[in-house]
Structure 1
């Protein structure tokens, strides 16, 4: 009894702290790009969408209807589901392995980073995790005998999962494999009530199937074919390292041991001798090892580390049984590392939600660009529209800009241009269905918003050339450099009628010397290149902390640049586009400073380029 009360107190205390911290972070954290699009889908209610079934969008709509237009309201239903999830794990584990194991399994759910941070973002993984726990618990109950309660729980879980994500098909497959693996499981599948539950779950897929039938299987093609190369690549080898970091090493090892024991049919530790522990272990084993193998052939460009979460949620009810076999120091280290991992993950989200901390990552590969700068962009857009004729339309270049700007401006109907990102993320069919994919023919004053950092740098000039072919010649842009240009947007005030003439692109430049983050003397050279289709760059001013410290007007040849820039440059000065300038920073204090460029085009336009950090010795 003392052990049970101690385990319960630890769980309640840490669950309360983590839940409160998550709510506080969620109220400040800017919307992630996918969250913004799910909000947009929620403003266009439908039974299913091109990228997902309907539940995620419905939950975002429910949140804002009840809580108003705020990031916390968007996330509130997901935070609630995530808060309930550990209690359901406790209930399931306690039913089979005792109250102490139940509270310990719930505590692991709170402390494992992947599940402990669940709900901070309004993503389909949250309702899918709930569906997984319900189905796993129902399956375990059925091993002892099928009844109306377990069949109802299974049906509910299957329906929630079908409404959450295409990936839930994998959860269903793993569950069937685990039941077929066990003699008791094969008996379960002979009960008619189980098939009634399966039929109810199958019906929940009807809206998604109907959408795909109506729109030429666009969603299925994207999820199963377009986004996956389906050829061997070596990135799957990183699985063990990534998962060990995200689940924390000792806890990940414990889950692997439980998985192997489940496959071999060995004992699950003290109290783990019935079919239930092996059923949970098999669910986790088939899922985890399956995703490990899949990682060598599937999508390696988008985030997929969270795909393993359903398998881990099946393993957590059993892991405390194994931990009882471990020496006390190793047990304590397992709990401590898990807590430290969740603390680090929460700390990351805190850093992302605080502009001053986020700024410190500018110029590095760790900069969270999908969270950054949307409020600032919205403010700049509103000010730019105020300077344009009344009734000026708004046009975004991609779904990312359209959805995030739409949430910031409370406008879910911002049209967007055809963009590779729309297709890459499976959003193009949905935009077309809403009538929001703009063909580029402008017949009214329009403010075009372009995410310059959303395009691979070598393809940026080609992207500008494509914009010219779609909307016509581009006027000089207003650059919006967020966090020293780590996130960069261009605003183009397009006239009501398309003008004829050559394409004058925005400038594209790069500082070759010094490299970002380099330590430099007080007097140092700055070298790089700059191009601008149609008119060229006539002057490059070097900025240090926003102040002009040198000017380059003489240019030399750069013969390799045409091969680097996709589509090639139509700069009339090519190949004389390489510049060099001498900087005297003797009047500045040592430490980190920001090095940038101000570029003057042959047409008199002036653009401020992104900055990069240097350290003065």
Structure 2
């Protein structure tokens, strides 16, 4: 199955270099050519309130955004992840040809590209995952402990690294003594998340268990999971990942287990609830390393199939040609910058100054975060919004006589709970948002005047 010395290596290396260059160009173009995605704005808000944990996820993405900025975090982590895949594959196979294949293949995985453009918890998780896997493979116990701990600080599924390593130890009937040092370092780095949860009634752990395993699902949600994997993993790469998991080299059992664990867990979760396609993205890291040692034709097929998807989606996000009745991709990545006008309320409501607005309310944590990022106003959620980190932060104070704004989309009116707290309501002012002549959003802004005592 594995291929010690690749055939026609020069042509494969050339193809790999071309794929890496194309991937870098796509990432940079999308990072510069799209607005801040609402999840990014939410994590940017976290970065303004640094803590040891948050309701939805551990804190590492917020710490990085606070230090580096949103897109710099994604681009830097994405680039280093590709480099780490190269180094890991070079170590596994002992030659650079396979390393170039692995790096090029990973650079074309849609899930990896997304994490390398838009800063989400997957962004640091994928980097720490491959570093931890590399260190565990080589038995570099201190580095493994640091990388595993940082993976847990990125996203809770980082614990699956431990599951893959334990499975490898059971199979080999050997538990190296240094592994205890790795476990100790990993737990120590994860302590801030545990302590934060302990101070907040374990809301983060509880939310993730309910979000991932609660609810009702079935064949429909599991089918959606499979379609999502083909979209974010690749129509060729996903089947090859399964081939590698069950038929790969015995000496690469750790890598195969690290690919199987996320697919198993989130496949099971998908049968119970509607999940998100990016959840098992880390599975494809070790899969790319493994597939790099398989037949050259399989590498070409997987890489070129994903290249077609990346170029098609990337070109649509920058220069759309096709028309869709509900273009979710364009709506999520464009048009949000118009909300900066909310930060200049005198342009919307004559005589109203920025300092007169105590808070801007929005119907969801995502929407509130976009308003916070572009308008630079204090924000809060209202109107039946899903519980989020905003519910754990102190509510913005609205003194008697102060004004507030309600910002929504598609003419959604302010909820009664807000209207009852103010003397009058004005609006709405409509803020249409377009991208290259296409309507992507219709925002509405309402003025809530004279807060009651």
TM-score (norm 1): 0.65
- Equivalent residue number for residue 566 of structure 1: none
1:89 to 85, 91, 112: 85
1:211 aligns with 2:211: no
Task: Say whether the 8 Å CA contact 1:114–1:306 is kept in structure 2.
Answer: yes
User: In structure 2, which of residues 15, 25, 30 is the aligned counterpart of residue 10 of structure 1?
Assistant: 15
1:494 corresponds to which residue? Answer: 448
Partners of 2:354 and 2:184 lie apart in 1 by 56
Which residue in 2 is equivalent to 1:161? 151
Compared CA separation, residues 479 and 335, structure 1 to 2 (3 A) = closer
Question: How far did residue 92 of structure 1 move?
Answer: 1.5
Cα distance in 2 for residues equivalent to 1:116 and 1:362: 23
List per-residue Cα deviations over 1:390-433 (Å, max 9, x = no partner): 73114222433332122223x3x61314343341xx32334xx2
Q: Secondary structure at the match of 1:120?
A: coil
Correspondence 1:463-482 to 2 at 5 A: 464-471=415-422, 473-482=424-433
Q: Which has the higher contact order (CA 8 A, sep 6+)?
A: 2
1:289 to 260, 264, 267: 264
Looking at structure 2, the residues matched to 390 and 421 of structure 1 have their Cα atoms a distance apart, in angstroms, of 25
1:112-191 maps to which residues of 2 (within 5 A)? 112-142=109-139, 150-180=140-170, 182-183=171-172, 186-187=173-174, 189=175, 191=176
The Cα of 1:337 is off from its aligned counterpart by: 1.0
In structure 2, what is the equivalent of residue 225 of structure 1?
Answer: 210
Q: Mapping of 1:37-116 within 5 angstroms?
A: 37-64=42-69, 74-99=70-95, 100-116=97-113
> Larger deviation: 288-297 or 464-473?
464-473
Deviations 1:130-177 (A, max 9, x none): 1111122222223xxxxxxx1122112112112111222234333323
Contact 1:446 1:496 in 2 (8 A): yes
Contact 2:410 2:444 in 1 (8 A): no
Deviation, 1:33, is 0.7
| 1:418 aligned residue | 382
Runs of 4+ aligned structure 1 residues displaced above 6 Å come to none
| Secondary structure of the corresponding residue to residue 407 of structure 2 | strand
Structure 1 regions of 5+ residues with no counterpart? 65-73, 143-149, 262-267, 352-356, 455-459, 500-617
- How far off is 1:12 after superposition? 3.4
Pick the structure with greater CA Rg. Answer: 1
Cα deviation per residue 1:189-233 (whole Å; 9 max; x = unaligned)? 2x3321111110001111111111111112122111256534333
Asked whether the equivalents of residues 142 and 182 of structure 2 are also in contact (C-alpha less than 8 Å), the reply is: yes
Please give the secondary structure, in 2, of the residue aligned with 1:481: strand
- In 2, the alpha carbon distance for the partners of 1:491 and 1:141 equals 57
Q: Is the 8 A contact 2:74 2:119 kept in 1?
A: yes
- Contact residue 371 and residue 379 of structure 2 kept, 8 A: no
Residues 335, 378 of structure 1: CA spacing in aligned structure 2 closer, same or farther, 3 A cutoff? closer
1:429 aligns with 2:425: no
Q: Secondary structure at the match of 2:56?
A: coil
Deviation at 1:385, TM superposition (A): 5.4
Structure 1 stretch displaced more, 400-409 or 385-394: 385-394
**What is the number of residues matched between the two proteins?**
439
Q: CA deviation at 1:237?
A: 1.9
2:407 aligned partner: 450
Please give the alpha-carbon distance, in whole angstroms, between the structure 2 residues aligned to 1:391 and 1:449.
16
Q: Does 1:240 align with 2:245?
A: no
Do 1:50 and 1:429's aligned partners in 2 also have CA atoms closer than 8 Å?
A: no
Structure 1 pair 52/91, CA: closer, same or farther in 2 (3 Å)?
same
CA distance in 2, matches of 1:367, 1:29: 11
Query: Counterpart of 2:294 in 1: which secondary structure?
Result: helix
Which structure is higher in helix share? 2
CA displacement at 1:123 relative to structure 2: 0.9
Question: RMSD over aligned Cα, in angstroms?
Answer: 2.9
- Deviation of 1:235 after TM superposition, in Å, equals 0.9
Kindly tell me: are residues 224 and 44 of structure 1, through their superposed partners in 2, closer, same or farther at Cα, counting changes over 3 Å?
A: same
Decide whether aligned partners of structure 1 residues 177 and 371 sit closer, same or farther in structure 2, where only a CA change above 3 A counts: same
